[in-house]
Structure 1
Amino acid sequence: MKRVVKIKLAPTDAQARALRETMVLCNTAADVVSQVAQAAEDRRAFALQKAVYHQLKALGLSAQPAVRTIKKVADAYATRAANLVAGNCGPRSGKRATSIATTPIGFRALASQPFDDRCLSWQQQDSTVSIWTTAGRLKAVRYVCAPWQRELLEHRSGETDLVFRDNMWFLYATVDIPAPEPAEVEEFLGVDLGIVNLAVTSDDTAASADWSGGAVTARRTKYARTRWALQKVGSKSAKRKLRGRRQKEHRYATDINHQISKTIVAQAQRTGRGIVLEDLSGIRERARLAKAQRQQLHSWAYAQLREFVTYKAASARVPVVVVDPRNTSRMCYPCGHVDKANRTTQDRFVCRVCGHIDQADHNAALNIAYLGYVQYMTTTHSCRAA
């Protein structure tokens, strides 16, 4: 089970200057590679390395940082290609996709930089790291972390990203924790994710009352109004406050997602059930919403919530199934009739055939639980037969 642990660095002034100069040089080199990659037919890391490796060495990069920089650019182009194929280019995607495809990818001067074990090593007993820089190897850069983060670092594997954010230095380390085999279950807890109600389970709607249209929506609306007012002012002071509020909003959303995921996993583990989630990939591009709801859709991290549920469930041996959300909010759970008119209002579901009445999101959560059960049993039996 792969996770990313965020570790704060505490460099001296001289070390911070060396780290900054290193990131600027690496991203300058990344821009050079990007120009070559944009004109190349083969954008794989190995092909780009043959074309620009010696040029990067001449800029001042050592061998391994040059290789990591080339790989960073190759990954960026691979991600862009995947988004273009999937159509994830936002509004007016046709013209925008053409513009994106013909423009080289640019890298900020202080964009994050990946390091492997040859460039960066950990001395956990001393709480320090040794890292390559343009000023030479820094052998005792101190870091600070909580005990639970130190335990996660015991399972570190792969690359570590150096990140500069809000005048602070961080290391984002990838850890690979052995996950226990999920328990076999016969029932599932369905979770309907939404805009007005962030999460509603198939048990009842009360479980998610704290994450409904009350305090959370009011807080998000307040943040949006404050952000709009500061953007309208446009002064340096306003922009400084905007940067500070950006992290405040991010921390708030992350905290709520942790609360929701922890409650859902505990509920499933206590009752011996699995969890069924919706696959909301690309929802921001597919959804057609009223203008008042667009800000809510774009301001909440549904992918983060799914990630939190997944890794917490893996640790608790709770299986997680992901299903297609198509028609789950329009289908009657008792009789299976699908009709857009079944959902009379945002909150009320009334079946046109059998007359079943329910809270709309709760009915959708029941459908999600059923679809997950069918998918799980079909997959399990197929694996056993094989």
Structure 2
Amino acid sequence: MIVVKIVTQVKLMPEAEQAAALSATLRTVNDLACWVSEVAFAHGVPREYDLRKHTYPRLKAEGLGAQAAQHTIKKVRDAYTTLRANIRAGNLGKPKSKRRRKAESKPITFRPDAAQPYDDRCLSWQYDQRTVSIWTTEGRLKGVRFVCSANALKVLQQYRKGESDLIERDGVFYLIATCEVVEAETYEPDGFIGVDLGIVDIATASTGYQAAGRALNRYRKRQLALRAKLQKKRTKSAKRRLKERSRREARHVKNTNHIIAKTIVTEAERTSAGISLEELKGIRQRVRLRKPQRVALHSWSFAQLADFIVYKAKRAGVPLVFVDPAYTSQTCAECGHVDKRSRVDQGLFICRGCGVVAHADRNASHNIATRGESVWNAGRESRVPATP
């Protein structure tokens, strides 16, 4: 049995006294997390068990419950584990770069409203009443109301398992719960749907589906202009507006990617087909674009879209493979002739070999679908034992 982990977010609707207690709790645990981080940094970031010996007594003395203290220590240790992973991966630059030296030269700090993990001993859910009971530094709060969509509530009731994170964002509290969904059994695909990711059209499928790029690109250009205007002002209110607009744009991107992913996966499930996606690793390094196109490439979360397609496909049991996208835009899907001159412009493909005329992204999606089927068949053949 394979499990897919997803997160579900609910919005808390506490009373005034409850909100004050939640806010005070977050500030207390994050202040103490900063102290734990200083201790960890001074001792060379020891193992979690050793770090607990140095910090647990004071955390208890400061009013944290046993579980809250354990989670605070674990949160700090996990933060250093993530930092080391980013350093090893080169995400913070080369060894002598300013960004890396800055990250390595001081303890990790936590914002006053940073997320705090809760387990089932600190947090319990009453789904029928849509309330939670949650630990705070001022005692256990019972009957704290929450709101979410009907689908999110259904997912929580059926699949919630493990920790939930309490966060505060602009005075509003949220719980982000981990849900473990059992992956559906994968069926044998009847062909593959190729998905070409691009700038003008965010996603083009070999079935004919296109995530219309005009409205999305207009939206992105407008957001870029508004950000530039606010950044020039450099006032506190402008910075506050920038933060609000950044979150609004992130929500819009996430919602759009969800819609695109759901459309593609639903079509694949309906036709019993598999999905073939481009391998996105290193896309920003290997794609050569003009400066305006670079801005467009960096302003859309292609990796998020791919992640949404992957997890939705797993939940539905849709077969999915990743393929090398090299030369898919220069190869004719009809005759296989490769010539970079065949890509006349962004939207037009005219094969120099057979003369076929096609939409450039649609042609690329057919090539991705063909490669996906080849990858799937090659993997299937490798799993079949040879006949004696």
TM category, shorter: 0.7 to 0.9
Q: Tell me the secondary structure at the aligned position of residue 92 of structure 2.
A: coil
TM-score by length of 2: 0.88
Partner of 1:184: 188
Partner of 1:136: 139
Q: Tell me the secondary structure at the aligned position of residue 363 of structure 1.
A: helix
Q: Tell me the secondary structure at the aligned position of residue 197 of structure 1.
A: coil
> Structure 1 31/188 Cα, relative in aligned 2: closer, same or farther at 3 Å?
same
What is the rounded CA distance, in whole Å, between the counterparts of 1:332 and 1:111 in structure 2? 51
Deviation at 1:372, TM superposition (A): 2.0
Q: Deviations over 1:276-307 (max 9, x none)?
A: 12232454466554321233222222232123
Structure 1 residues 327-366: aligned runs within 5 Å: 327-334=327-334, 343-349=343-349, 358-366=358-366
What is the rounded CA distance, in whole Å, between the counterparts of 2:292 and 2:192 in structure 1? 34
Q: Deviations over 1:291-328 (max 9, x none)?
A: 21233222222232123222332343312222343444
The correspondence for 1:157, drawn from 158, 161, 170, is 161
What is the rounded CA distance, in whole Å, between the counterparts of 1:279 and 1:168 in structure 2? 38
Q: Tell me the secondary structure at the aligned position of residue 182 of structure 2.
A: coil
Partner of 2:234: 234
Q: Tell me the secondary structure at the aligned position of residue 183 of structure 1.
A: coil
Structure 1 residues 102-121: aligned runs within 5 Å: 102-121=105-124
Q: Tell me the secondary structure at the aligned position of residue 230 of structure 1.
A: helix
Between stretches 13-22 and 352-361, larger displacement belongs to: 352-361
Counterpart residue type for residue 211 of structure 1:
A
Q: Tell me the secondary structure at the aligned position of residue 380 of structure 2.
A: helix
Partner of 2:306: 306
What is the rounded CA distance, in whole Å, between the counterparts of 1:385 and 1:158 in structure 2? 40
Deviation at 1:241, TM superposition (A): 2.9
What is the rounded CA distance, in whole Å, between the counterparts of 2:14 and 2:287 in structure 1? 45
> Structure 1 203/367 Cα, relative in aligned 2: closer, same or farther at 3 Å?
same
What is the rounded CA distance, in whole Å, between the counterparts of 2:84 and 2:17 in structure 1? 40
What is the rounded CA distance, in whole Å, between the counterparts of 2:102 and 2:341 in structure 1? 40
Structure 2 residue runs of 5 or longer lacking an equivalent are none
> Structure 1 91/354 Cα, relative in aligned 2: closer, same or farther at 3 Å?
farther
Q: Tell me the secondary structure at the aligned position of residue 303 of structure 1.
A: helix
What is the rounded CA distance, in whole Å, between the counterparts of 1:42 and 1:347 in structure 2? 54
TM-score by length of 1: 0.88
> Structure 1 358/286 Cα, relative in aligned 2: closer, same or farther at 3 Å?
same
Deviation at 1:60, TM superposition (A): 2.9
Structure 1 residues 47-62: aligned runs within 5 Å: 47-62=50-65
Q: Tell me the secondary structure at the aligned position of residue 177 of structure 1.
A: strand
Q: Are 1:200 and 2:204 counterparts? A: yes
8 Å CA contact retained: 1:279, 1:322: yes
Deviation at 1:229, TM superposition (A): 0.9
CA RMSD of aligned residues (A): 2.8
Deviation at 1:360, TM superposition (A): 3.2
Counterpart residue type for residue 60 of structure 1:
G
Partner of 1:255: 255
> Structure 1 50/359 Cα, relative in aligned 2: closer, same or farther at 3 Å?
farther
What is the rounded CA distance, in whole Å, between the counterparts of 2:375 and 2:249 in structure 1? 36
Deviation at 1:151, TM superposition (A): 1.0
8 Å CA contact retained: 2:94, 2:100: no
8 Å CA contact retained: 1:179, 1:314: yes
Q: Tell me the secondary structure at the aligned position of residue 163 of structure 1.
A: strand
> Structure 1 119/190 Cα, relative in aligned 2: closer, same or farther at 3 Å?
same
Counterpart residue type for residue 247 of structure 2:
Q
Q: Tell me the secondary structure at the aligned position of residue 362 of structure 1.
A: helix
Q: Percent identity?
A: 48
8 Å CA contact retained: 1:43, 1:77: no
What is the rounded CA distance, in whole Å, between the counterparts of 2:63 and 2:364 in structure 1? 58
What is the rounded CA distance, in whole Å, between the counterparts of 1:229 and 1:147 in structure 2? 39
Q: Are 1:3 and 2:1 counterparts? A: no
What is the rounded CA distance, in whole Å, between the counterparts of 1:231 and 1:240 in structure 2? 11
Q: Are 1:124 and 2:127 counterparts? A: yes
Q: Tell me the secondary structure at the aligned position of residue 377 of structure 1.
A: helix
Q: Deviations over 1:35-67 (max 9, x none)?
A: 233355555433433333233333332221121
Between stretches 95-104 and 2-11, larger displacement belongs to: 95-104
Q: Tell me the secondary structure at the aligned position of residue 227 of structure 1.
A: helix
Partner of 2:219: 219
Partner of 1:274: 274
What is the rounded CA distance, in whole Å, between the counterparts of 2:34 and 2:212 in structure 1? 43
Q: Are 1:244 and 2:244 counterparts? A: yes
Deviation at 1:134, TM superposition (A): 0.8
The correspondence for 2:39, drawn from 27, 36, 50, is 36
What is the rounded CA distance, in whole Å, between the counterparts of 1:330 and 1:317 in structure 2? 32
State the aligned residue count. 382
Q: Deviations over 1:52-111 (max 9, x none)?
A: 323333333222112112222222222222222222337999443343333432211111
> Structure 1 167/95 Cα, relative in aligned 2: closer, same or farther at 3 Å?
same
Q: Tell me the secondary structure at the aligned position of residue 122 of structure 1.
A: strand
What is the rounded CA distance, in whole Å, between the counterparts of 1:368 and 1:235 in structure 2? 48
8 Å CA contact retained: 2:279, 2:325: yes
What is the rounded CA distance, in whole Å, between the counterparts of 1:62 and 1:31 in structure 2? 18
Structure 1 residue runs of 5 or longer lacking an equivalent are none
Q: Deviations over 1:130-176 (max 9, x none)?
A: 11111111122111222222211121101100011132111001111
> Structure 1 51/341 Cα, relative in aligned 2: closer, same or farther at 3 Å?
farther
Counterpart residue type for residue 34 of structure 1:
S
